[in-house]
A and B are shown apart, each in its own frame.
Chain A
Amino acid sequence: MDDAELVEQFRRTGDEAPFRALVERHRQPVFRLILSILGAGREGAAEELTQDVFVKVFRRLGQFRGEARFGSWLYRIAYNQAVDHRSRARFKMPHYGEEVLAMTPSDKPGDDPLESAARASSAAAVRDCLAELPHLYRSVLHLHYWLGMTVAEIGAALSAPEGTVKSYLYRGRARLHRLLAERGIVDV
C-alpha cells in the first residue's frame, strides 16, 4: 500500500494501523533529515524532534488534502521543525582542544601519530565549517557525505529534482572550501 492509500485509510477510518505503517516507513529518513540540519553529536535532540514531527503529523493528517505528496509534506514539516529548533536552541558545537586532538588514537596500526592528529584536526575544522553553512547546504552535504544518501534519495527527502540537489552539493562544497581557505586549512 502506498503513502496516499495509507493516508486515505487513516482519514476515512481513524484507524491507527495506517499511521503506524507511515511512521515505520518514514521514521529513519525523517530522523536523518533532522540530524543533517542539527549536525553530529545531536542524535538525542534529533530523535526527540522526530517524535514531535510524527505527533504533529498525527494531529494534522485529518486535514491533509493530498495536494502535495505525503512524503513532501512530512519532510517539509521535519525540515522546518529542525530549522526552528536550531535557531531557538543555544547551539554550541562541541569544542576539541589541541591537546585532545593530539591524543586522538590512530585508527591504523603503525600510523604516524602526527599525521593522525592532523587528520583529526582537519576533520574537526570541516565539521565546524559545516555548522556555519546555511541550513540547506549543510543538510545536503551531511546527507550525502555523512549519512551516505544518494542524490536521488536526497531529492526525495527534500522534494527537489536531482539536478537541484547536485547544484546544492556543488554550491555547498564551494562555500565550504571558502570557509576552510579562510581558516588556512586549504589553499585558495
Chain B
Amino acid sequence: MSEPSPACREFEQWLATEAAASDPPAGENRAAHAERCAECSRQWRAHRLLVAAFAGEVVPRLSPGFEAGLERKLVSSRRAARPLTGWRRTVLVGYGLAALGLLGGALRQAPLPAVDASAPWLAVAALAAVPLSLGLAIGVSRWLPAPRAGGGAPLTL
C-alpha cells in the first residue's frame, strides 16, 4: 500500500474534523483533489451518504426510567453478592454442625438399613436430600438481614 500524499492527508483530516455535507468539498484545492484522487473521491462519497443517512436524526438519550431500573438491578445484585459474614455465617456453621451431630448420633444408634431393591430411588433421594437442604439453607441465608447497619440499604440514584 502506497503512502498517502500530503493532499490526501489534508483531505482526510478535513473530513474527520470540519467537513459538512456540502457539495463540492469546500476549498478549491480540496475540490480539485477529490476530482483527481480516486480514493479521496470514494471517501467523500461515503462521507456524504453517511451525513445524509443520519441527517435530522435526533440523538437518542437515556429514558427517565433509567435511574429506577439501575437502582432495582443494584439492589438485587447486592443481595446476591452479599458475603456470608457475621451472625449469618454463625447460623450456617451452627446448622452444619448440628446436622453432622444428628447424623453421627443416628448412625451410632441404628445401623444403616439395607437398600430396598424394589425401590432403589429411595436411597438416591435420601442421599440427595442432604446437599439439597444445605443449598437451601445457603440460599435462604442470602435473604436474611445484613450484619452491618445500612449494608443492605438500597442505592438511590
Contact = CB atoms under 8 A, between A and B. Distances in A.
A85 interface: no
Contacts, number: 105
Contact of A173 (B47, B57, B60): B47
A160 interface: no
* Most chain A CB inside 10 Å of its own CB: which residue of B16, B57, B74, B81: B16
B60 A27 contact: no
A122 to B, nearest CB: 6
B20 to A, nearest CB: 12
A174 B16 contact: no
Contacts of A147: 59-60
Contacts of A19: 155
Interface in A13-53: 16, 19-20, 23, 27-28, 31-32, 35, 40, 43, 46-48, 50-52
A54 B70 contact: yes
A103 B56 CA distance: 18
A31 B57 CA distance: 17
Contact of A55 (B50, B53, B70): B70
Interface of A: 16, 19-20, 23, 27-28, 31-32, 35, 40, 43, 46-48, 50-52, 54-55, 58-59, 107, 119, 122-123, 126-127, 141, 144-148, 150-151, 165-166, 169-170, 173-174, 176-177, 180, 185-186
Interface of B: 12-13, 15-17, 39, 42-43, 45-47, 49-54, 56-57, 59-63, 66, 69-70, 73-74, 77, 81, 155-157
